[in-house]
Chain A
Amino acid sequence: MLTVPTNRRAFLAAAAGGALGGLLPASLLHAQPTSGKTLTIVLPSNPITIDPINQLNHDAMVLGQTVFENLVEYDVDGVLKPQLAKALPVISADKKTYTFDLRDDVTFHNGKKMTAEDVKYSFDYLLDPANKAARRSLFTRITKVTVLDPLKVQFELSEPYGPWLYFLTKYMGIYPAGSRKEHGDDYFKSRPAGVGTGFGVFEEWKPNDYISFRKNPNYWRKGLPHWDRLVVKMIPEDATRVAYLLTGQVDLISAPPPREFNRLKTMPGVTGASRPTLGGALLMYTNNLKAPFDDVNFRKAVSCAIDRKTIGEKVYYGLLEPSAVPAPSRGWWFNAEADKELAFDIDKAKAMLAKSKYATGAEFDLSIQAEPYLLDTKDAAIFVQAQLAKIGIKVNLKVYEFSVLIQQAIRGEHQAALQVFMSPGEPSYIMQVCLTPEQVLSKSTGYNNPEFNQTLAAAFAETEEAKLKEAYGKLQALAARDAPIGVLGYVHASNLWRQALQDVKVNQGLTIAPGEIKV
């Protein structure tokens, strides 16, 4: 018996289906397969490179981390663990020599066994200025890499510098000896087949569309990955990215729109989660060398006038963890006392403003980024503008494209600039880059305090967590005393995925971690 659709949606479907039926056979609709053993994940932006030593875009690091691996890795919980090394390194008493024992069961995708020679070659290539690796500057304290035996390699540093281990996890990869010369940089950039040890073997890059990898059948972590093919699609438009997930065209998306995140993760067939990253901060670079930020009381007034909790909850729908100091509140090195000094307190803000040179009111330009990256900073900027107006500070919002905004901050041409800053999650990175001299973003704040610099240098020489916590705590206390930079909070990494997927874990390091996902 013929049944007549009784609800509006079914009726519309039937009517339009009839109209389109002749044109589009139903069997051919939705022809993009997602079943079987293909895992399809989505990035919001188009990557420039797969090469980890030149990668800048954090969410695109999933590409390099699929193909290339390192001596150590951050796991999804932000814990440093051995990867191609058997264990974490043995560190000499003077903290300048690091020795790694390598795994003996690792082969490159080209079938060659990985040895200490490959590790030395990879680092020597990275460190050679002639090769112009974008990430070289993070590793220049490495003075010598020595092969002690085929499975043992030693690194000598010019001075104690513990953070370098953390940078390995994102900005470095081990590739076969001679491979750079054999293939050239463009090969590593866009088609690095055969030159990694990772769980995915590069297959194809279709510009502006997708990059695909096939399973590495000889991967040293037996049983992984659980898929046969990984497809990384690039979908910049929020609504389209979500539509792809809802229609089952893709399995997992990164950077879901914050406004819809909570609603979407409860939709049928879809689930999701988020967690604060250890290194992604929403920063307001306040130029201490320019009025009105040349007055510490004014800087403190601005900090205390900002209600970060409301920004986190109401502006970013829970995807920003409030913090007033350059440390995530869930990090083991977080100093809650220091945070309290600069946290939201409108009376304190008014008192600080009254004590400042600008007690009768001030006005400043706040530069913001036109295109959203992880979060739309314009949303927070409008809120900050309204909040500062309450204590009599006028904020003029100026919208710039990313490269223009960052140029302003690097040259110190701005008064204040708001940006999501992605760091590797290493506790000292943001403080080093923005608050010490002769760093790329030194002029973004213009802050130079010998006590701060010495404390940071001492922290670089430490490897014990308890002593590091003390050092980082002191740095945050200094940051609370001088308020050289505005910190609004730490960004959440968030993913939405099809409920059918198993073992999906949101990575605190921000990139997607597809290796263990079961399709």
Chain B
Amino acid sequence: MLSLVAGRILSSIGTLLFVGLALFALTRSGPGSPARIVLGADATTEQIAQFEQTHGLDRPFLSQYASWLGDVMRGDFGKSFVTGRDVATDIVGALPVTLSIVLFAFAIALVCGVGIGVLAALRPGGAFDRLSRFAAVLGLSIPAFWLGIVLIRFLAVDLRWLPPGGYFPLSAGLSLHLQSILMPSVSLAVYYIAVLARMTQASLQETLRGDYVRTARAMGLSSSQVVFYALVNALPPVINLAALSFGYMFGWALIIEQVFNIPGLSRALLNAISQRDFLLLQGIVFLFTAIFVFANLGADLLNRLLDPRQRAAA
């Protein structure tokens, strides 16, 4: 088991390195130079060349990648040649903002998604099941950015219950913090509530149809005990999906942070893309990749703990 865990961790690190290389190649393969953004449309060719020389952008690709990777290994993400700020400091400053929204959204998605899925699975074809299916279709269909704009329109502009955007850290007070992350988190969570509800319902219903469940019922186990054990067995695919969802949420947060004017990582990433800020772009995407890879690693390990068959296979 230990060697398997070590193997998974090593392969995750390998994935990260590969993604780092691909990312590095992609950011530099575009036709636009950051010099054009920094120096402007009317910069001369000489100015552009001088900028690229100063910032090492004219060096061979692999040489640039090797020094970047070496620096990253030492925790140094470099200094943005667009803004002049330290990339690691910018990332560390913005990470808690994105994390608080994604974690809150993830908690909402997990609690509501699994809860709705379980309730729907208990009475297949019942009113709640039919309602949850309808709601899931809606949840899957509504684009998060549109939902965000609708929420701003009604909850902020019309009803004036919540601020239309912006972010307050927890240190500003729990209420202010919740005000600022409620609408963004709900906008982000709705799609994943639907996804997780559908998966939980399908997986649990299938498990409940299993022979061993019938046997358990025949042997006189209470309904709640049966559902509990069935749920544990139905969870692995849900956990995998939740881990994927957690990673994807960082991607969707790109749009949500833009809509709600939240100064998080995704906002920084969008600016980095539009400003050709290679180092910041690489730093953030590298971090997102790490979160995605390690969330999946965590899900795998959790599944092995829950599922004796997977442990045996290890």
Which A residues have a C-beta under 8 Å from some C-beta of B? 9, 12-13, 16-17, 20, 23-25, 28-32, 46, 48-49, 54, 56, 132, 134, 137, 185-186, 189-190, 206-209, 233-237, 239-240, 243-244, 246-247, 249, 371, 401-404, 406-407, 410, 433, 439-441
Contact = CB atoms under 8 A, between A and B. Distances in A.
B176 A247 contact: no
Contacts of A406: 36, 41
B156 A247 contact: yes
Given A208-B94, A208-B268, A244-B165, A25 B83 contact: no
A237 B259 contact: yes
A243 B152 CA distance: 7
Interface string B42-79: 11100100110010000000000000000000000000
A247 to B, nearest CB: 5
Interface string B145-173: 00001001111111111111111100001
Interface in B10-61: 30-33, 36-44, 47, 50-51, 54
Contacts of A401: 32, 274
29 contacts: A9-B158, A13-B159, A23-B175, A29-B161, A31-B168, A31-B179, A46-B271, A56-B41, A132-B51, A190-B84, A208-B264, A208-B271, A236-B261, A239-B259, A240-B152, A240-B164, A240-B260, A244-B261, A246-B157, A371-B274, A401-B32, A401-B274, A403-B33, A403-B36, A404-B31, A407-B32, A407-B33, A407-B36, A440-B43
Nearest to B159: A13
B160 A247 contact: yes
Contacts of A31: 163, 168, 176, 179
B198 interface: no
Contacts of B43: 134, 137, 440
Contacts of A439: 42
User: Which has the most chain A C-beta neighbours within 10 Å: B43, B90, B153?
Assistant: B43
A32 B161 contact: no
Nearest to A185: B84
A403 B156 contact: no
A432 B33 CA distance: 25
A132 to B, nearest CB: 7
A24 B261 CA distance: 20
Interface of B: 30-33, 36-44, 47, 50-51, 54, 82-85, 90, 93-94, 149, 152-168, 173, 175-176, 178-179, 182, 258-261, 263-264, 267-268, 270-271, 274-276
A186 B32 CA distance: 24
A137 B42 contact: yes
A123 B220 CA distance: 91
Contacts of B158: 9, 13
B276 A249 contact: no
Nearest to B266: A208
B143 to A, nearest CB: 13
Contact of B163 (A29, A209, A234): A29
Contacts of B167: 209
Contacts of B50: 132
Contact of B85 (A190, A237, A244): A190
A515 B41 CA distance: 29
Given A24-B178, A401-B32, A243 B156 contact: yes
Contacts of A25: 175
A204 to B, nearest CB: 13
Contacts of B175: 23-25, 28
A154 B51 CA distance: 32
Nearest to B50: A132
A236 B258 contact: yes
A399 to B, nearest CB: 14
Given A48-B37, A56-B40, A208-B268, A28 B179 contact: yes
Contacts of A48: 37-38, 82-83, 275
Contacts of B159: 9, 12-13, 16-17
A316 to B, nearest CB: 22
B157 A247 contact: yes
Q: Which 5 A-B pairs have the closest CB atoms?
A: A403-B32, A243-B164, A209-B263, A56-B40, A440-B42
A150 B173 CA distance: 54
A38 to B, nearest CB: 15
User: Which has the most chain B C-beta neighbours within 10 Å: A20, A234, A403?
Assistant: A403
A136 B275 CA distance: 21
Contact of B263 (A208, A246, A249, A402): A208
